Amino acid sequence: GEQMDYEFIRVARDQAVGIITLHRPEVLNALNLKLVDELVEALENMDRDDSVRTIVLTGNEKAFAAGADIDEMADETAISMLLKDQFTVWDRIATINKPIIAAVSGYVLGGGCELMMNCDIVIASETTKIGQPEINLGVMPGAGGTQRLTKMVGKVKAMEMLLTGSPISAEEALRYGLVNKVVPVEMYLQEAVTLAKKIAAKPPLAVRLIKKSVLKAIDNPLSEGLAYERNCFYLLFASEDQTEGMRAFVEKRKPKFTGR
């Protein structure tokens, strides 16, 4: 449930929107192992909860997350990292069925950027700084940074960001398609929740299969993605919401979707 006692995150609800707030403000929301475990658990709980339709993931004004917890990693060895295999849990974030809308502000660095790129839509405040600074620590991204960033912004911009480690501004991120919208800092969370509510009112089965189909486009050849899309499209004709949605159009009234 939602009233679980988490140490490093907070969970809340606003109608059909589940809100997860990263909460380690004293270290700019550095992502330690426990925080990521709690985050994945909260996401999976919301994914199972039929009354939650969309999820907003946020931090605070100063930081969405300044990366993996460097103190926690500083004394690791290759073998201890291999045995701990701490980044495997990140793969579960990509399997969440419901749309995740990131509301980011301030530092979005390293693992914070990788986490943001696992979200489906991103609303950023004007003060957002996005980067992959791992190179400055003698390492490199380990939770998808080299792969997802390249697919999102293209080769040359990804190379620049990954090899210099310098963050880019919200405006630049917008230009490169890394975020959907940039708003004043007082508004970023509200803007994300408003968008989440809009999507929460859509027929949930269509929402689910659209998300899955878009993700298919990222790591499959076009022909496979198209075949997957077509099957999903046909499948939705088994839903009551398809009957209702099309009937409502024909009858010139608003549809009432049930998620069946």
Name the active-site residue from 59, 63, 103, 114: 114
Our CB check for ligand HXC shows the closer of 142 and 225 to be: 142
Our CB check for ligand HXC shows the closer of 59 and 204 to be: 59
Which residues pair with residue 58 across a beta bridge? Answer: 21, 103
In the DSSP assignment, the letter for residue 186 is T
Kindly state the smallest distance separating residue 119's Cβ from ligand HXC, in Å: 15
Half-sphere exposure of 224 (CA within 13 A, CB side): 8
Which residues pair with residue 106 across a beta bridge? Answer: 63
Name the active-site residue from 18, 134, 145, 196: 134
Largest Cα span, the chain: 66
228 class by beta-carbon count within 10 Å (0-12 exposed, 13-18 middle, 19+ buried): middle
Our CB check for ligand HXC shows the closer of 21 and 29 to be: 29
Kindly state the smallest distance separating residue 196's Cβ from ligand HXC, in Å: 25
Name the active-site residue from 65, 66, 68, 196: 68
Name the active-site residue from 111, 112, 131, 145: 111
**34, 37, 87, 159: which one binds ligand HXC (CB under 6 A):** 87
Of 25-33, 174-182, 192-200, 220-228, the window that binds ligand HXC (rule: CB under 6 A) is 25-33
Active-site annotation holds for 111: yes
- Restricting to residues 127-146, name those near ligand HXC by CB under 6 A: 133-134, 137, 141-143
Q: Look up residue 25 and give its amino acid.
A: P
Say which residue the tokens 């426990």 belong to: 34
**59, 111, 203, 204: which one binds ligand HXC (CB under 6 A):** 111
CB atoms inside a 10 Å sphere around CB 72? 14
What the block records as the tokens of 235 is 């499948």
3, 9, 143, 208 from 118: Cα distances, Å: 25, 17, 10, 16
Name the strand (E) or helix (H) holding 197. helix 188-200
Active-site annotation holds for 171: no
Kindly state the smallest distance separating residue 34's Cβ from ligand HXC, in Å: 13
Say which residue the tokens 């999507």 belong to: 199
Active-site annotation holds for 65: no
Kindly state the smallest distance separating residue 258's Cβ from ligand HXC, in Å: 39
Q: For binding to ligand HXC (CB under 6 A), which residues are involved?
A: 27-28, 30, 66-71, 87, 107, 109-111, 114, 133-134, 137, 141-143
**Positions marked catalytic:** 68, 111, 114, 134
